[in-house]
Every structure is written in C-alpha cells, then in structure tokens.
Amino acid sequence: MRHGRTTLGILGGMGPLATAEFYRRLVRGTPAGRDQEHLPVLMWADPGVPDRTAALLGRGPSPVPAMVEGARWLSRAGATCLAVPCNTAHAFLGQVSRAAGVEVLDMVGAALAAAAGRAPGTRRIGVLATRGTRTAALYERAGHRLGLEVLQVCDRVQRECVDPAIRAVKAGSAGDAAERCIERAVHSLADRGAQAVIAACTEIPLVSGPAARVLPLTDSTDALVDLALARLWQAPRTSWQGTVTAG
C-alpha cells in the first residue's frame, strides 16, 4: 500500500458471498470520480473460520484464533481499521480487537442508529438475525445503550423462516422461497409493533426485496459501508462513529 493513505481491512469469509457483496457496495457507495480516488482495501477472506453460531450455542470450536490470525495479518499489512461483514462475528470482536491491537468498526451499533434515524420517533426495531446473534444479545445490548427497544421473531418463525433463508443464501440456492420466508418474518415483527426492521445477518439483504415493502428495512451491510466511509473517506456520510471496544 502507498504510504500516507488510510486503508480499510476487511476481515471476511464469513460467509464468502456476504464479503464479496460488502466490497461491491463499498466501491459503489464511494463518492469517487476515478479509480485512484477509491479507498485502498486489504482483504482476508478465510471461509475456514469455525461457525460463529455453532460456537455461541456451544456446538463448535471458537472462531477467535482464526479471526485473530486474519486481523493481525491485516494490521501488519497496513490496515487503519477493520470491517467485519458478519453480524454474528461481532460477539467475538472485542477479543479480536484486543489480541490484534487494531480498531474494529461496529456494524451492530451503526445498523441500529441507521434504523432509528429513518423516521422521527422510531424506537421499536425488529431484528432478523442468526441464532448466534440472538444468543449473544448483540442487538439488545447495543439497543439498550442507544435507548432503543429491540424485537426478535418468535422461535417458530426463526426456525421456519429466518434459518432456512440464511442457509439458502449460504448454499447459493436462494430464490423466491427464501424471499417469501423473510417477508413472512417481517410481517410477524410488524404484528408485534416493530416500526422498522434490520437485516442483521449479511445474507438476509440478498433475499429481502419483498420484505422491504412491509416495514422500513435497514441493511446492516449498507450500515457498515457508511460507517467505513465515515471513518476513512474525506466526506463522511453518517453520524455514527462507533467501534467495537476491546472489553
């Protein structure tokens, strides 16, 4: 990397398609007029990182060692800060940031702030997430800090709608059925009083087109893009400046 330029590190591979989509949106969202004005980016995309949800549910090994390896590589290569386009991985990012000694952008806080900012008075926000993200209460804890109420779908809707849609995207077989699943899940959140919804798994936005017509939908991937640009680009596009703490 050329000396003197801020560089974004992408700690990816969780999953590969979500990582590729994040980088595509970062490029499209950057207000650059020519190639040379885009952000320098370093990417570590290791699909072998142990499953984050399995680890949180006590059914698999910790992903922390593999994530720390990637974070250290990115830091040594010159990354100014890291973006991790995986919501569930945020349960481990405090440990990763501390071990690697590198700043990590807070996608969870950014997504909540973006959802709340879409319309005045928005305080009840529904979340569509993996079981791991739910178990770690990532959005609930961040929502408490921001004064927001976070709503999750019931276990049946999680099992019948959200989980299958995420699996379909990861398997590369997402289609109309997955879109209908996410739309049904958003209807269930609207019935419970949600004023907005967050696609809080980076696979979900890829099948959330119809669901966005039910409630205002914030894409956590877009929130992370905006946060990265606010941190590293000369013309910030968002007021949220959060990073994951090393606690």
Would you call the peptide bond into 143 cis, given omega within 30 degrees of 0 as the criterion?
Answer: no
pLDDT at residue 244, rounded to an integer: 58
Is the pLDDT reported for residue 104 higher than 90? Answer: yes
Is the pLDDT reported for residue 93 higher than 90? Answer: yes
* N- to C-terminal Cα separation, the chain: 30
pLDDT at residue 243, rounded to an integer: 64
pLDDT at residue 233, rounded to an integer: 81
Q: Which residue has the tokens 């090994």?
A: 61
Residues in the chain: 247
Of the candidates 204, 240, 243, 196, the residue with the CA atom closest to the CA atom of residue 220:
204
Per-residue pLDDT, averaged over 90-109, amounts to 96
Tokens of 204: 């979900």
pLDDT at residue 174, rounded to an integer: 72
Is the pLDDT reported for residue 245 higher than 60? Answer: no
Average pLDDT of the residues of the chain: 91
pLDDT at residue 96, rounded to an integer: 96
Choice between 18 and 214, residue whose per-residue pLDDT is larger = 214
Task: State the DSSP string of 110-132.
Answer: HHHHHHHTTSTT--EEEEE--HH
Per-residue pLDDT, averaged over 124-146, amounts to 95
**Separation of alpha carbons 105 and 239, rounded Å:** 14
Is the pLDDT reported for residue 65 higher than 50? Answer: yes
The pTM of the full predicted model, rounded to 2 decimals, is 0.88
pLDDT at residue 206, rounded to an integer: 84
Q: How many CB atoms are closer than 10 A to CB 213?
A: 11
Residue range(s) occupied by CATH 3.40.50.1860 in the chain: 8-106+222-244, 108-220
Per-residue pLDDT, averaged over 140-162, amounts to 96
Is 54 in a helix, a strand, or coil? helix
Per-residue pLDDT, averaged over 88-95, amounts to 95
- If you ran DSSP here, which 8-state letter would residue 1 be given? -
Instruction: Read off the pLDDT of residues 164-202 as tens digits, 9 standing for 90 and up.
Output: 999 998 888 778 999 999 999 999 999 999 999 999 988
Tokens of 143: 């929502």
**Separation of alpha carbons 64 and 117, rounded Å:** 33
Is the pLDDT reported for residue 235 higher than 70? Answer: no
Q: Which residues contact 169 (CB under 8 A, 6 or more apart)?
A: 17, 178, 203, 204, 206, 207
pLDDT at residue 241, rounded to an integer: 56
CATH class of 108-220: alpha beta
Is the pLDDT reported for residue 234 higher than 70? Answer: no
Of the candidates 66, 89, 81, 77, the residue with the CA atom closest to the CA atom of residue 18:
89
Choice between 203 and 124, residue whose per-residue pLDDT is larger = 124
Residue positions annotated with a catalytic role: 86, 201
Is the pLDDT reported for residue 246 higher than 50? Answer: no
Distances (CA, A) of 97 to 114, 158, 247: 24, 30, 9
Q: What is the fold, at CATH topology level, of the domain defined by 8-106+222-244? A: Rossmann fold (3.40.50)
Is the pLDDT reported for residue 227 higher than 50? Answer: yes
Instruction: Read off the pLDDT of residues 8-53 as tens digits, 9 standing for 90 and up.
Output: 999 999 989 889 999 999 999 999 899 988 999 999 999 999 999 9
Strands 104-105 and 243-244: antiparallel
Per-residue pLDDT, averaged over 215-231, amounts to 95
In Å, how far from its chain's centre is CA 158? 18
Q: Which residue has the tokens 């905006």?
A: 226
